[in-house]
Structure 1
Amino acid sequence: MRKAARALARGGLVTAFGHCSMRVDDGHFLVCAARPMGLIDAGEPGTVVPVDGPLPPGVLGEVRMHQQIYSRRPEVQAVCRFMSPHVMALAAMGESPSARHGFSSYFYPKVPLWTDPALVRNDDAARGVAETMGAAPAVVVSGNGAVTAADSIEKAVSLAWFLEDAARVELAVRSAGGSAHVTFKHADQARQRATWEGRIAERIWEYLTAGDPE
């Protein structure tokens, strides 16, 4: 988890804000320390959080989103919340990326968007974010970044990196006047491209954790 936090920072996906977590068991998950993720030290402890119930002291209020995702999706083993620049720019327009290239195929046809710009610091809002996300691998949280979820921390981090690149491409396509172009003609095309075979997550993980102290 600490490596994931530092990887998100190394990839430019977080600055002073953001958090990631890993499921411990059916009723608990471990969230990283509540401080800038790139500054989390080797061996620095996180906090065990119940999937249901109040947040422990010192845990950031937005971690309620993690609770709601874990409670709804037993297959999810890791969650990342991040605030990357291109995702934030699109969200400021009330938009999220469409599937326009290989990395964005994982979010076909489009990333769900939670439209309330308020900080997600209460259970009702966290439930709304999780319900908007549904079974998707990510959700953009308007004005407050995005969240990814997967069956491993490596995939959750990879999806965060993919989502930022999807937003970068979306903005470039829009600025070039190409919004009407459809890259994937049907869902099967996107599913075929959105593979984890060939060490996809492993290579992203190696790239973002190279030189990590742990």
Structure 2
Amino acid sequence: MSLPAGRQPLPVLQQRVRIVSRALARHGLVGAWGHCSARIDENRFLVCAAKPMGQIGSHDDGVIVNVDQPLPEGVLGEVRIHQRIYARRQDVGGICRVMPPITMALSTLKRVPKPRHGVGAFIADCQFWDDPRLLRDDSLADELAIEIANEDALVMRGNGAVTVGGSIEEAMCKAWCLEDAARIERYVSDLSDDLSQSLLSKDEVLARQVSSGRVFERLWEYLTAGDPEPLDESLAFPSESEVWL
């Protein structure tokens, strides 16, 4: 039995953060900008190296950050978003700050993807942050953490998105689901002027929010396929009982 995700040895956590970083870049969810992190314990988390995530190599370790202390030297300013979310959400074990292009395009119209297909059900309550500024001060980061509330995704107007999960792997999967929902949103908008008819009902959303049957495990395998630093299979994707708590 592997250790819970947030209690694994630091070298294992470093590896997981590197693999997620490269996967996000490989699938176009980040470019020059973006970052991800995994919680270590109640007061600390590990954020990826401050460089384009697709260029993070096997020796590019992340930096340990305290939830309630100033950011360490060399850590990107928007990592304070992670600080504020971890401080407010004890259920969160991983965070991804991403720049998915279709989601970004919708956000400039003050729109977020709606649940119109099965994958979209996983981000059905996506929140919207109506402010294009970078979040480089504590007060703005606090406001964003309040806005995301207990949901798994928040879209920032013209400025990407934030997804969270019980583990960094789950947060990455939610980022992919968000962009896939945005892709469907774009296609549906091209096909019809009446977008209400394609929405999933609340009951349909609940019925589709099922992750059993290796739903996220398969998505993890798809997103990380070809990574140069394969993770031990026993640690490949934390089960529900192995999230950081």
Query: Normalising to structure 1: TM-score of the pair?
Result: 0.96
Superposed CA deviations along residues 147-192 of structure 1, whole A, max 9, x for unmatched, are 0000012211110000001111112212222412143222x32122
- 2:24 aligns with 8
Q: Residue in 2 aligned with 1:198?
A: 213
Matched, 1:149 2:160: no
Deviations 1:30-56 (A, max 9, x none): 000011000000131110001112111
- Are positions 1:20 and 2:36 aligned together? yes
CA displacement at 1:106 relative to structure 2: 1.0
Contact kept, 8 Å, 2:126 with 2:153, in 1: the verdict is: yes
Give 2:211's aligned amino acid. Answer: W
Q: CA deviation at 1:3?
A: 0.1
- The answer as to whether partners of 1:139 and 1:148 remain within 8 angstroms in 2 is yes
Q: What aligned pairs does 1:1-214 form with structure 2 within 5 A after superposition?
A: 1-108=17-124, 110-176=125-191, 177-186=193-202, 188-214=203-229
Task: Say what the alpha-carbon RMSD is for the aligned residues.
Answer: 1.1
**Percent of pairs with identical residues:** 49
Amino acid in the other structure paired with 2:214: R
CA contact (8 A) 1:88 1:144 kept: yes
Output the CA distance in 2 between the equivalents of 1:128 and 1:6: 29
Contact 2:114 2:199 in 1 (8 A): no
Counterpart code for 1:16: A
Contact 2:154 2:163 in 1 (8 A): yes
Q: The residue matched to 2:189 in structure 1 has which SS? A: helix
Which secondary structure does the structure 1 equivalent of 2:115 belong to? coil
Q: Check the 8 A contact 1:129/1:141 in 2, yes or no.
A: no
Aligned residues: 212
Q: Distance in 1 between matches of 2:119 and 2:67?
A: 30
Deviations along 1:80-130, one digit per CA (max 9) or x if unpaired, are 00001101100111111111111110122x411000111111111111111
With normalisation by structure 2, the TM-score equals 0.84
Q: Distance in 1 between matches of 2:18 and 2:194?
A: 40
- Counterpart contact for 1:106–1:191, Cα < 8 Å: no
CA distance in 2, matches of 1:171, 1:123: 34
| Structure of larger gyration radius | 2
In structure 1, what is the Cα distance between the partners aligned to 2:39 and 2:64?
9
CA distance in 1, matches of 2:114, 2:204: 14
* Aligned-partner residue type, residue 36 of structure 1: P
Counterpart CA distance in 2 for 1:47 and 1:104 is 33
Moved more, 56-65 or 191-200: 191-200
